[in-house]
Structure 1
Amino acid sequence: MMYRIVAACLFLGLFSAGSSLSCRWMDHKFKQHNEETLNLLDAMANNSTNSTELEDTVVFPNHLYRQASKASAEEKLAFTAQILEEVAALFEEDHSSASWEESTVRNLLNIVNKQAEELRSCIGSHKKKNKKLRMYFKRLSHHILKQMGHSAEAWELIRKETKDHLMRAEQLTSSLCSTH
């Protein structure tokens, strides 16, 4: 009998240690880094000139966020990590037409990549990437950046869209953070 109690306690201890909800980085750093990233995006807007809207071909994926909000904690983290990875991939494209400071873009990429890496380390197993989310970001790259020649207007659209994603990602993950 005592063996079963010890085994159960050991199992619960190991399970909770591996749980995405016990990820200390998530509790203490995600929101801080997300705010830094939003501030950098705002600073980039100060250097932008145009305020155009996204084409109808690339509609913000609200339905994917609704699905993710109903998912497990681990799936929410995986979804958020994928968003960050996709954002980083976008900002690694040619942004020379944008009037952004190179150091600002570098800082943005460093923070976004750090967030994605830390979230991935919180996930117990390798989660499959969301194909619909991947296709959405491919459409942003092809239908906005490439078709608009990586212009300043295209980058302003991407900057705004990225800000929306980061705000939604914070909402999605805020329920996962412990309140100590």
Structure 2
Amino acid sequence: MLNKILLVCLLFSAGSSLTCKWMDRDFKQYSESALALLKTMKTNSTNSIDDIEVDDAVAFPNELYKHASKESREERLSFVAHVLDEIYALFEENQTRASWPENTVDDFLDIISQQANGVRRCAGKQTTNHHKKNHRKMSLYFKRLSRHVLEHMDYSADAWEFVREEVRIHLHKVHLLASS
């Protein structure tokens, strides 16, 4: 009987460690692919993204990353998966005036979705109420990015270029957070 219990425990722990090998084996590759696609999407607009007027409501949420970096690995990965889900939702919005090919966006969304699913499998447990607050703040940030930049600028190519650059920074941040 003790051998059976030991075997079940061993198989369970081996299964969970196999799932998280995805982080070591695949996460970096997905990150690099997503960043490469974002780079190809960069426009050669005459306007600089620095020229775009955005209010403080869409200030980059550095403090949320700082809080997440102090959490357990599971909580950090849960936060990373949440950010990837938010990026996915943002890029599903109206891109008819964006200057990049639709198939590039489809490839980008596919990579982000697969990456979020892989990270979520490694995160394991559900987030606590304390951590849900940071997730909610991140969701609000992405909603403000959508409303104050994309909608306000009528989903223009310049608005999408601003969003693309913000997402690029987020992808770098989540890569660092997931690797720590």
**TM-score of the aligned structures, taking structure 1 as reference length:** 0.85
Number of aligned residue pairs: give it. 172
Which residue pairs with 1:96 in the alignment? Answer: 96
Q: Is the Cα contact below 8 Å between 1:48 and 1:98 reproduced in 2?
A: no
Deviations 1:35-64 (A, max 9, x none): 111111111114544322361321000000
1:42 aligns with 2:39: yes
In structure 2, the CA distance between the partners of 1:49 and 1:108, relative to structure 1 (3 Å rule), is: farther
Q: Is the Cα contact below 8 Å between 1:37 and 1:108 reproduced in 2?
A: yes
In structure 2, the CA distance between the partners of 1:105 and 1:22, relative to structure 1 (3 Å rule), is: closer
Deviation, 1:15, is 5.0
1:174 aligns with 2:179: yes
Q: Is the Cα contact below 8 Å between 1:81 and 1:119 reproduced in 2?
A: yes
Structure 2 unaligned runs (5+)? Answer: none
Q: Is the Cα contact below 8 Å between 2:73 and 2:123 reproduced in 1?
A: no
**TM-score of the aligned structures, taking structure 2 as reference length:** 0.85
2:125 alignment partner AA: S
CA RMSD in angstroms, aligned pairs only: 2.4
Give, in whole Å, the separation in 1 of the partners of 2:62 and 2:121: 26
Deviations 1:129-162 (A, max 9, x none): 4111111011001111111111111101100000
In structure 2, the CA distance between the partners of 1:49 and 1:111, relative to structure 1 (3 Å rule), is: farther
2:16 alignment partner AA: G
Quick one: which of 19, 23, 28 aligns to 2:25?
Answer: 28
1:39 alignment partner AA: A
How high is the sequence identity, in percent, across the aligned residues?
A: 46
Question: Higher helix share goes to which structure?
Answer: 2
Give, in whole Å, the separation in 1 of the partners of 2:83 and 2:162: 17
Q: Is the Cα contact below 8 Å between 2:19 and 2:121 reproduced in 1?
A: no
Deviation, 1:24, is 1.3
